[in-house]
């Protein structure tokens, strides 16, 4: 009887550990550290732009002949596309996507993919927090040259784009077979 109870407890512990491993893998720490770094840097830059520079109350500031600090509030999904007043729908969408990316991170087999997922998660959470706090995403970097003008973006956007590029690159890279 005691052996049966002990076996049941061991089985229960094994099931709990297996469930926990779905949400934390060997490279999760790398992804979480990068996500936290991106999130912190993004929020710090937005605080600086909004509270110290007061960019939302002044005209654009020329930094170089091709880069300005210019305030824009993005109510859309990406690059102002699919603009909506239902910001909480976009917040929930960001959180669902982040949860899926988190599970992917827990299963990541290569440091590059874990780093890429961390960049995307940190950027997505940074922009989601903006939507909660301000009802839109604070964008402030404007690149241009002559009559050419790029979208206004922020650090979270850069991290998301870099993460996606790294994921695509990692997907096309040949990898050594994984050990069992």
Residue 15 exposed, middle or buried by CB count within 10 Å (0-12, 13-18, 19+): exposed
d(CA 86, CA 88): 5
Using one digit for the tens of pLDDT, what is the confidence trace for 63-96? 999 999 999 998 876 655 555 567 778 888 889 9
15 has a pLDDT exceeding 70: no
**Is residue 13 very low, low, confident or very high in pLDDT (cuts 50, 70, 90)?**
very low
Domain definitions of the chain by residue range = 26-172
Residues with active-site annotation: 139, 157
H/E element, 139: strand 137-145
Prediction pTM value? 0.81
Least confident of 24-33, 74-83, 141-150, 161-170: 74-83
Tokens of 112: 């590059």
- Bridge partners, residue 142, by sequence: 68, 152
DSSP, collapsed to helix, strand or coil, labels residue 17 as helix
**Is residue 175 very low, low, confident or very high in pLDDT (cuts 50, 70, 90)?**
confident
At 76 the pLDDT is: 74
9 has a pLDDT exceeding 90: no
Q: What is the DSSP letter of 113?
A: H
Q: Is 80 left (phi over 0), alpha (psi -120 to 50) or beta?
A: left
Q: Higher-confidence residue: 24 or 40? A: 40
Instruction: Give the distance from CA 21 to its chain's centroid.
Output: 21
**Is residue 22 very low, low, confident or very high in pLDDT (cuts 50, 70, 90)?**
confident
The runs of H, that is alpha helices, within the chain are: 2-21, 28-47, 87-106, 111-134, 155-172
List the 61-64 sheet strands across, edge first: 61-64, 67-74, 137-145, 148-153
């Amino acid at each position: 009887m005691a052996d049966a109870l002990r076996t049941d407890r061991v089985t229960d512990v094994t099931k709990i550990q297996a469930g926990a491993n779905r949400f934390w893998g060997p490279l999760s720490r790398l992804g979480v550290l990068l996500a936290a770094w991106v999130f912190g840097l993004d929020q710090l830059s937005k605080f600086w732009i909004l509270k110290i520079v007061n960019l939302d109350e002044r005209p654009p500031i020329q930094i170089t002949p091709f880069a300005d600090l210019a305030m824009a509030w993005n109510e859309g999904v990406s690059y102002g596309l699919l603009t909506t007043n239902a910001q909480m729908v976009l917040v929930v969408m960001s959180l669902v996507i982040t949860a899926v990316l988190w599970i992917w991170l827990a299963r990541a087999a290569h440091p590059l993919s874990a780093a890429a997922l961390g960049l995307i998660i940190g950027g997505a959470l940074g922009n989601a927090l903006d939507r909660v706090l301000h009802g839109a995403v604070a964008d402030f970097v404007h690149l241009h040259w002559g009559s050419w003008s790029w979208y206004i973006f922020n650090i979270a956007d850069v991290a998301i784009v870099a993460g996606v590029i790294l994921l695509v690159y990692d997907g096309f890279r040949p990898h050594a077979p994984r050990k069992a």
